[in-house]
Amino acid sequence: MLLINNETVEEILDMKGCIDALETGYRDLLAQRAVYRPRIDLYVPQDDPERMYRWGTMEGASRSFGVFAIRMKSDMLEWPEGRTVEKYCMEPGTYCGLVLVFSARNAEPLAIINDGIIQHMRVGACAGLAARYLAREDASVVGMLGSGGMAETYLRAFAEVRKLTEVKVYSPTAANREAYAKRMSEMLGVPVSARDNVEEVVRGSDMVATCTDSVRVVVENPGWVEDGAFVTCVRSNEWDPGILDRCDVTVKLGRGTIHTLDEGMQRIAGYASYVAGTNDETTRIVNPGVDLFSGKHPLLTDLMGGTVPGRAKDSDVTFFLNDGTQGLQFASVAGYVVHKARELGAGREIPRDWFTQDIRD
């Protein structure tokens, strides 16, 4: 059994491999060779009213990779001034997220993987996979809103599927957007410039991505979006709802959570959740006022399978809602990582018998 840390994942998982792994997983889903359970969260209020514990899981299996994977994360949450959601494990700057991988062929435990690199890569790669199907072939100018890890993997994915000539970036902290511009320009060999406002980034861009931790609308005027643009997001609240009217084609990645809530469940930040605590304690959780993920839209697999139309002409505006099928993403990408690790002799071997037993459950 392998223990695979983020450093090893970074060495063996490139963006092309990640996009290809996800396409394999979604082809499996089309062929009824894959399955996933949507994300469900669990919240525990704290004595400190500014903090909340959250446990989240999502799981899936792919027959092409021959694995089942479950991603689990343990977070303390805070909502400073109700503007963003901040998370950590034990203390700010430390996080706990794990992907457990099992063989779907003989039930063998295969690996425990830190989820940090996989998490960012699989979200960015899904945006890149969607851009492959929905962006104009000549799309070359990217407008990026956000300057963190997701903004990096989204841009890397766009560069994998389209030939980029220019990138514009805005995030509220000037130092962060300047650092992103320098880092990504050096990484991709493409001019990346920091801009002073959202409108400047959106106007004139062929592809626009919102990659933020904001719990408020980021793009307030969908009229800034150019004809022919491809737009996408990370969170359900980043675009004014008018973007749905601005777009000619809207496609969602998949089902993000269960729609029919069991007794005792609530919908928090778009996801089905169990919450310990009183109504007063539950109201501490900042729920975005906009939830674009909750609508019914054609899915990426519908587009891939040819059962729904995509872009019909160059002037069409296309919108990709990057939410859903999270468990399948982890099965596909983690399955790829485990295969590559075995092939390259990477990762740390740990005794399998730590995780097996002779007592039947």
What's the pLDDT tens digit per position in 97-112?
999 999 999 999 999 9
Residue with the bigger pLDDT between 125 and 82: it is: 125
Pairing assessment for the beta strands 109-114 and 265-268 based on DSSP bridges:
unpaired
- In the CATH scheme, what architecture does the domain 123-257+288-321 have? 3-Layer(aba) Sandwich (3.40)
Chain centroid offset of residue 101 CA? 19
Rounded to an integer, the average pLDDT of 130-141 is 97
- Between the alpha carbon of residue 75 and those of residues 12, 18, 56, the distances in Å are 27, 25, 8
Q: Is 10 helix (H, G, I), strand (E, B) or coil?
A: helix
* Position 127 pLDDT exceeds 90: yes
Rounded to an integer, the average pLDDT of 206-227 is 96
Rounded to an integer, the average pLDDT of 142-162 is 97
What's the pLDDT tens digit per position in 265-282?
888 777 888 989 888 888
Task: Using pLDDT thresholds of 50, 70 and 90, give the confidence band for residue 263.
Answer: confident
Cβ atoms of 18 and 122 closer than 8 Å: yes
Which sequence spans correspond to the domains of the chain?
Answer: 2-118+326-350, 123-257+288-321
Tell if the pTM clears 0.75, that is, is over it. yes
pLDDT at res. 286:
81
Cβ atoms of 323 and 210 closer than 8 Å: no
Task: Please tell me the CATH superfamily of domain 2-118+326-350, with its number.
Answer: ornithine cyclodeaminase, domain 1 (3.30.1780.10)
pLDDT at res. 326:
93
Cβ atoms of 128 and 161 closer than 8 Å: yes
The single residue listed with the structure tokens 């084609």 is 249
Dihedral of the alpha carbons of 108, 113, 119, 120, in degrees to the nearest 10: -140
pLDDT at res. 83:
80
Q: Is 101 helix (H, G, I), strand (E, B) or coil?
A: strand
Rounded to an integer, the average pLDDT of 168-190 is 97
| Long-range CB contact pairs, 23-27, < 8 A, 24+ | 23/129, 23/304, 24/62, 24/64, 24/65, 24/332, 25/60, 25/62, 25/64, 25/65, 25/328, 25/329, 25/331, 25/332, 26/129, 26/300, 26/301, 26/304, 26/325, 26/328, 26/332, 27/64, 27/304
What's the pLDDT tens digit per position in 2-37?
999 999 999 999 999 999 999 999 999 999 999 999
**In angstroms, rounded to a whole number, what is the distance separating the alpha carbons of residues 157 and 125?**
5
User: Which of 110, 120, 118 has the alpha carbon at shortest distance from 347?
Assistant: 110
Residue type, 42: L
